[in-house]
């Protein structure tokens, strides 16, 4: 059941599902002035018997006074707080893509103002008995069109093409002896993905209103790592056009254990997401609302520097 009392008073959303009954409490008042179409919720209810701290932001995509955008860097990384200052103190900043620590390189696509500014890494040379083979993957992304419609899809990105190619059904990974990525069969299954803003990560967690984790197809987390509990960042959207950005605190025994991918998916499903995906987690997970942290980052140094973020800002 859902119980919502609009206005300045506190309200909660009670979410029953197999993780147990999770109660989300509205904490708008802790984060300064917010538009009427943006709300912040938190919970400390247990996840399968383990301590938990999580927050999510709900934002109405139809509110044209909000701008949904991204920002990224080149050969360097910023903390979310630095992105916040760099972008004139927007309403929300949250980490997004996976990246290479050694080179600071984004490993996933980013679209800003309708342009691809970062690309998925599709081809990886294998080692050992597969030395002569390349692994080809299609990682997922969430995008928002000019008409403020959200979509989650699996992408092929090419720096020579204006638009990403999108698959609405997961194509899975494959191996071959050539560094080329897409064969003709896959090309025929893809369409131009004309998004105004987008950020990629993976794997997809919710498809067609159901928990359906495409971890194996995206070749993300190997073996039992899918069940490990970590800090998490995820995004999805509801059938009525609400964007949901969820962060789960973790790696703090006795305080906040984190969530597995399946647990994360179930949280998003119960919040009403019809499509959703996982983004970079662990020490990278961090969401700022009006410059204030929601979850506490797990790195002892505090906020981890990252190469790309998703942003919500008030239009001026």
Residue closest to 91 by CA, chosen among 125, 123, 63, 118? 63
Write the CA distances from 149 to 182, 192, 212, 221, 262, integer angstroms. 27, 15, 21, 29, 26
Dihedral, CA of residue 146, residue 154, residue 86 and residue 77, to nearest 10? -170
- Does the pLDDT value for residue 295 go beyond 90? yes
108 or 316: which leads in pLDDT: 108
- Mean pLDDT value of segment 204-223: 95
Residue 268 in this model has a pLDDT that exceeds 70: yes
pLDDT at 5 over 70: no
Res 4 pLDDT > 70: no
Q: What is the pLDDT of residues 226-255, one digit of tens each?
A: 899 999 999 999 999 999 999 999 999 999
Predicted local confidence at residue 222, as pLDDT: 87
Given the structure tokens 């505090």, which residue do they identify?
A: 302
| Better pLDDT: 225 or 6 | 225
CB 68 within 8 A of CB 303: no
Beta carbons of 139 and 120 less than 8 angstroms apart:
yes
Provide DSSP, the chain: ------SSS--EEEEEETTEEEEEEE-GGGG----TTEEEEEE---BTTB---EEEEEEETT-TTEEEEEEE-SS--B-HHHHHHHTTS-SEEEE---B-TTT--B-S-EEETTEEEE----EEE--GGGTT-EEE---EEEEE-TT--EEEEEEE--TTSSSEEEESS----EEESSS----HHHHHH-EEE--SEEEE---EEEETTEE---HHHHT-S-GGGGG--B-EEEEEEETTSEEEEEEE--SBTTTB--B-HHHHHHHHHHTTEEEEEEE--GGG--EEETTEESSPPSSTTSSPPBSEEEEEEE--
Q: How far, in Å, CA of 289 to CA of 211, rounded?
A: 28
For residue 129, pLDDT over 90 is answered with no
d(CA 146, CA 126) in angstroms, rounded, equals: 39
- The confidence score (pLDDT) of residue 316 equals 76
Q: Are strands 191-193 and 164-167 parallel, antiparallel or unpaired?
A: antiparallel
User: pLDDT category, 11, cuts 50, 70, 90?
Assistant: very low
Answer whether residue 15 shows pLDDT above 70.
no
Max CA pair span of the chain: 63
Instruction: Please report the pLDDT score of residue 20 as a whole number.
Output: 63
What confidence tens digit (pLDDT) does each residue in 88-104 have?
999 999 999 999 999 99
Q: What is the mean pLDDT of the chain?
A: 92
Residues 105/75, Cβ–Cβ less than 8 Å: yes
Return the domain boundaries, the chain: 12-314
- pLDDT confidence of residue 19: 63
């Amino acid at each position: 059941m859902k119980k919502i009392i609009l206005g300045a008073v506190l309200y909660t959303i009670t979410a029953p599902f197999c993780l147990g009954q999770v109660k989300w409490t509205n904490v708008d008042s802790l984060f300064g002035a917010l538009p009427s179409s943006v709300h912040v919720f938190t919970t400390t209810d247990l996840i399968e018997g383990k301590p938990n701290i999580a927050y999510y932001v709900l934002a109405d995509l139809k509110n044209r006074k909000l701008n949904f955008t991204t920002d990224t860097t080149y050969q360097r990384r910023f903390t979310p707080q630095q992105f916040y200052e760099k972008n004139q103190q927007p309403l929300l900043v949250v980490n997004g893509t996976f990246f290479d620590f050694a080179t600071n390189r984004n490993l996933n696509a980013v679209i800003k103002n309708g342009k691809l500014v970062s690309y998925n890494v599709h081809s990886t040379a294998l080692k050992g008995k597969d030395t002569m083979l390349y692994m080809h993957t299609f990682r997922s992304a969430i995008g928002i069109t000019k008409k403020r419609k959200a979509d989650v899809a699996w992408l092929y990105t090419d720096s020579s093409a204006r638009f990403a190619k999108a698959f609405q059904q997961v194509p899975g990974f494959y191996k071959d002896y050539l560094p080329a990525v897409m064969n003709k069969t896959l090309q025929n299954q893809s369409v131009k993905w004309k998004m105004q803003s987008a950020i990629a990560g993976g794997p997809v967690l919710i498809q067609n209103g159901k928990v359906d984790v495409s971890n194996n197809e995206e070749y993300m987390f190997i073996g039992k790592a899918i069940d490990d509990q970590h800090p998490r960042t995820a995004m999805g959207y509801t059938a009525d056009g609400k964007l949901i950005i969820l962060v789960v605190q973790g790696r703090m025994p006795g305080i906040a254990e984190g969530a597995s991918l399946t647990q994360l998916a179930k949280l998003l499903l119960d919040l009403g997401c019809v499509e959703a995906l996982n983004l970079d987690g662990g020490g990278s997970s961090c969401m700022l609302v009006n410059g204030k942290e929601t979850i506490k980052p797990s790195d002892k140094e505090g906020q981890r520097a990252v190469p790309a973020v998703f942003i919500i800002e008030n239009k001026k």
